[in-house]
Amino acid sequence: MYREEDIFGRSELLVGREQMNKIGGTRVILFGAGGVGSWCAESLIRSGIGHLTIVDSDSVSVSNINRQLPATTETVGLVKVEVLRKRLLSINPHAGITAIQGVYSAETAESFRLNDFDYIIDAIDSLQHKTHLIVAATRTKAMFFSSMGAALKLDPSGIRVAEFWKVRGCPLAAALRRRLKKNTPPAKKFLCVFSEEVLPNRGAQAEQRPEDTSGYREPPVAGQSVWDKRKARINGTMVHITAIFGFTLAGLVIRDIINKAE
């Protein structure tokens, strides 16, 4: 078995041994292991995070292959978090990786013991569950980062980081703000990864799947987009966008650990 100091030698060369020890001792929980979350998990483990919990309820489907790390023609039908855990342990066998096949919701929130973690990362598609996680996570001592919508985008140079209330041009962020203002606002500020780019679907009419929460429904008013978990539309997505979203979330974690240590 390879030693951790051999695996992360180039990282230690950049940031130093003390910083790598801090990174290795950090506990992270990641909600969502899809197009954004799976790449975030890979980046966290390759960066030296020593304790990672990944939460996702889905199994790999063939439609995941174009953008999700665990998805190949050989893994279709397998539990997504288990496939991802196996891959992450092949990168660093010393890492403590917990895979939970489940859904974060108001009913299950307490079971995740959010206060046990140093960082909470949101890569959830569901508007309802995402809203609840934002409120719950910002009430903990953990640092919280969130991904906004990564679909309908092609330009990687448009991907940005901003405080949640300053995110502009993202239909998901706008829908979240409406819900949070109406109900319970976040307890503290937090950073989001987002892009203002919103392209139209140019392919065949997207399939309507009421149980899917990854898209947004276009209302009759021209030029507006609204996220609706009851009638979601499947939107086009490219891997270079979802991966950069995920890598950026992981980068926020690593930079924060280093900045705090310094």
Partners of 217 in beta bridges: 226
The least confident of 46-55, 104-113, 117-126, 228-237 is 228-237
Q: How large is the average pLDDT for residues 26-53?
A: 98
Q: Give residue 26's identity as a one-letter amino acid code.
A: T
Q: What is the pLDDT of residues 153-197, one digit of tens each?
A: 999 999 999 999 999 999 999 999 999 999 999 999 999 999 999
Other CB atoms within a 10 A radius of the CB of residue 215 amount to 28
CA 48-53-57 angle, 5° bins:
135
Question: Rounded to whole angstroms, how far apart are CA atoms 125 and 142?
Answer: 21
In the chain, alpha helices (H): 4-7, 9-15, 17-24, 37-46, 80-91, 127-137, 171-182, 239-261
Indicate the DSSP class of residue 46: H
151-160 tens-digit pLDDT? 999 999 999 9
Tokens 């500020």 found at = 189
At residue 219, does pLDDT exceed 50? no
92-111 mean pLDDT: 97
Q: What is the pLDDT of residue 229?
A: 41
In this prediction, residue 19 carries a pLDDT of 97
Mean pLDDT for the chain? 90
Q: Are 73 and 89 spatial neighbours (Cβ–Cβ below 8 Å)? A: no
To the nearest 10 degrees (0 to 180), the angle between helices 239-261 and 37-46 is 40
Handedness of CA 95, 99, 104, 109 (dihedral sign): negative
DSSP 215: S
Instruction: Identify whether the C-beta of residue 40 lies closer than 8 Å to the C-beta of residue 251.
Output: no
pLDDT level of residue 205 (50, 70, 90 thresholds): low
Look at residue 241 and tell me whether its pLDDT is greater than 60: yes
Residue 234's pLDDT band, with cuts at 50, 70 and 90, is confident
- Beta bridge partner(s), residue 27: 51
- The whole-angstrom separation of Cα 187 and Cα 38 is 27
Q: What residues does 192 pair with on adjacent strands? A: 146, 162
Indicate whether 206 pLDDT > 50: no
